Amino acid sequence: MNAIAVFCGASVGNNVTHQETARDLGRVIAQRGLTLVYGGGNVGLMGILADSALEAGGEVIGVIPKFLAEREVAHTKLTQTHFVKTMHERKALMADLSDGFVALPGGFGTLDEFCEILTWAQLSLHNKPIGILNGQGYFDSLLDFFDHAVQEGFLTESLRALILEAPTPEKIIELITSHQTHRVR
């Protein structure tokens, strides 16, 4: 495994612990010799994550649509930046550049990216590990929803099992890097 894509908020949120978690995740990714692939922003948890990975000596690849870069939210000190035209291109390139995926707290964009990568796994478009860093129980309600979808017959147990969960950066990276990928049937 060489690169981890992280989906997270362009806001820092109201809980300072999420900022600390983003900082720790960036550091852990760099210390493990992995490349961070993320949305290319210098704001919110995205900026904290990237800065932390860079400060720890890691390589950081940003993928950002030109229209967002023009709003001056693009990080200017990354190892590499890919400017794309659309959000769809952003997600596709992030997926191509990455060997695994982790979601940190965020809003609609984070949820969109995370669910799309899950859907691509469901459709056997990739077999890369997908995880949620569930610090402070941020994703408890979402995980409860996925469990409910299994109970209601809209997800299978094998699809639900695609989501690796951990409360700390160290544990989620351990799960992602050691995960044996498999195709969902």
Confidence of residue 49 (pLDDT cuts 50, 70, 90): very high
Reply yes or no on whether the pLDDT at 104 is more than 60: yes
pTM for the model:
0.95
d(CA 167, CA 174): 12
Tell me the mean pLDDT in the region 17-44. 97
Segments in 123-162 forming alpha helices (H)? 140-151, 157-160
Name residue 100's beta-bridge partners.
4
Integer Cα distance of 129 and 1 in angstroms: 10
* DSSP state for residue 21 in the 8-state scheme: H
Among 178, 163, 40, which Cα is nearest to 102's? 163
- C-alpha–C-alpha distance, residues 122 and 181, integer Å: 13
- Containing 88, the helix (H) or strand (E) segment is helix 87-97
The pairing of strands 100-103 and 80-84 is: unpaired
d(CA 56, CA 21): 15
Residue 182 pLDDT > 70 = no
Q: For 125-166, write each residue's pLDDT tens digit.
A: 999 999 999 999 999 999 999 999 999 999 999 999 999 999
In the predicted model, what is the mean pLDDT of the chain?
Answer: 95
Residue 180 binned pLDDT confidence (cut-offs 50, 70, 90): low
97, 63 in Cβ contact below 8 A?
yes
Q: How far is Cα 104 from Cα 125, in angstroms, rounded to an integer?
A: 23
> Domains in the chain, ordered, with CATH?
3-177 (3.40.50.450)
Q: Is the pLDDT of residue 31 over 50?
A: yes
Residue 39 has pLDDT above 80, yes or no: yes
Cα(132)–Cα(150) distance, rounded to whole angstroms?
18
